[in-house]
Amino acid sequence: MNSGGRLRTKSPLTLVVILSVVVWSVRALGGQATPPPVDAVQTLIERLNLEAYKASIKGLTQFGDRPQGTDRNRAAVDWIEAQLTNYGCPTERFNYVYNPPPPAAPAPSAPRRDPVIATGELRPGQGGSRLRGVAQPTTPNNDPLAQPDMRLRQLNSQPTAPASRHQVYCTKVGATRPQEMYIVGAHMDGRGFGEAASDNGSGTALVMELARVLSSPDVQTERSVRFILWNNEEFGLAGSRAYVEARAGLQGRRGSCRFSALPRTTLAGDDSARHDAVRPRYAACRWQHQRGAAP
């Protein structure tokens, strides 16, 4: 995993993997400037709390499916921000304007023969799965009347409306290389007239649990780690796209501490969101100043 990669997860099993990847750079537990003990990662893993994780999922589902442009989405963002603040992870809001393009006319779909029936072969599915038999597309429900639970139907009755959009993130500033950053994210919105617990309340809860563990005062990381709860993923990745576009001009710029150009390492492709050159740069300046380094 190169620095600056963006991690996105929905599976609970990947939380331990994320901790192992990110926390290899833990400098100390308890504020000591000594090399990390061999069991530093295990120590942090033991701080994970299944009940806290499940409580975060339940906290998100109280707002329904949370499509952006609704009151329930805004309430969910406020709730997430309050939780991250309570963990000791300094939060910020990212605001943007979302102007959706006019919907394109659906292309006519020609009838096709199911390859399982035609050839007896299995089709590849999501996550390495194999589709058997005649499978239906895995798309969210778009018919509110298909929701049999009247409570959920009422909760999710407000339609989305054009407006300014916002999403929340918090940042753990690195101790020695703050100008380099990991981004750990999941989208907090959902659709389908349900509670969006799996898509993607579970992933949001994972990011929040990771933020809770790494924001402990006795944990220091070499690189900065930003925990972002993307918004409006369900209708075209608008929140993450706006975030990337807003920071594209910051990439590779020099700071006031005479840094060289920021590293341009990537995880996959040329990801413009791999660094945020503003806050980590100033944090690095403060770190140098505290240690008497030349500006």
Measured in whole angstroms, the distance separating CA 198 from the mean position of its chain's CA atoms is 14
pTM exceeds 0.75 for this model: no
In a domain, 137, yes or no: no
What region does 101 belong to: left with phi over 0, alpha with psi -120 to 50, or beta?
Answer: beta
Of these ranges, 84-88, 143-147, 242-246, the one predicted with the greatest mean pLDDT is: 84-88
To the nearest whole number, what is the mean pLDDT of the chain?
A: 75
Of these ranges, 101-115, 130-144, 218-232, 233-247, the one predicted with the greatest mean pLDDT is: 218-232
In a domain, 118, yes or no: no
User: Within 13 Å, how many C-alpha atoms sit on residue 111's CB side?
Assistant: 0
- Of residues 139 and 228, the one with the higher pLDDT is 228
Residue 72 pLDDT = 96
Q: Compute the average pLDDT of residues 261-289.
A: 37
Provide the residue count of the chain.
295
In a domain, 49, yes or no: yes
If you search the block for the tokens 């400037």, which residue do you land on? 33
Of these ranges, 3-17, 33-47, 259-273, the one predicted with the greatest mean pLDDT is: 33-47
Q: What percent of the chain has pLDDT over 90?
A: 44
Residue 236 pLDDT = 86
Which domain covers residue 260, as residue numbers? 6-99+154-290
CA distance 275 to 291: 24
Q: Compute the average pLDDT of residues 243-252.
A: 75
Alpha-helical runs (H) found in the chain: 14-22, 40-45, 50-61, 71-86, 115-119, 150-155, 202-214, 238-247, 279-290
Query: pLDDT category, 15, cuts 50, 70, 90?
Result: low
In a domain, 176, yes or no: yes
The alpha-carbon radius of gyration of the chain (Å, integer) is: 21
Q: Compute the average pLDDT of residues 139-149.
A: 89
CA distance 128 to 233: 22
In a domain, 141, yes or no: no
- Of residues 228 and 248, the one with the higher pLDDT is 228
- Of residues 30 and 91, the one with the higher pLDDT is 91
The CATH number assigned to the domain holding 275 equals: 3.40.630.10
Q: Is the pLDDT of residue 121 over 80?
A: no
In a domain, 107, yes or no: no
- Total structural domains in the chain? 1
In a domain, 178, yes or no: yes
Contact assessment for residue 10 and residue 187, using Cβ atoms and an 8 Å cutoff? no
In a domain, 136, yes or no: no
Nearest to 288 by CA among 178, 171, 170, 180: 178
Contact assessment for residue 165 and residue 96, using Cβ atoms and an 8 Å cutoff? yes
CA distance 131 to 154: 34
CA distance 151 to 35: 54
Let me know the angle formed at the C-alpha of 259 by 256 and 264, rounded to the nearest 5 degrees: 125
Residue 82 pLDDT = 97
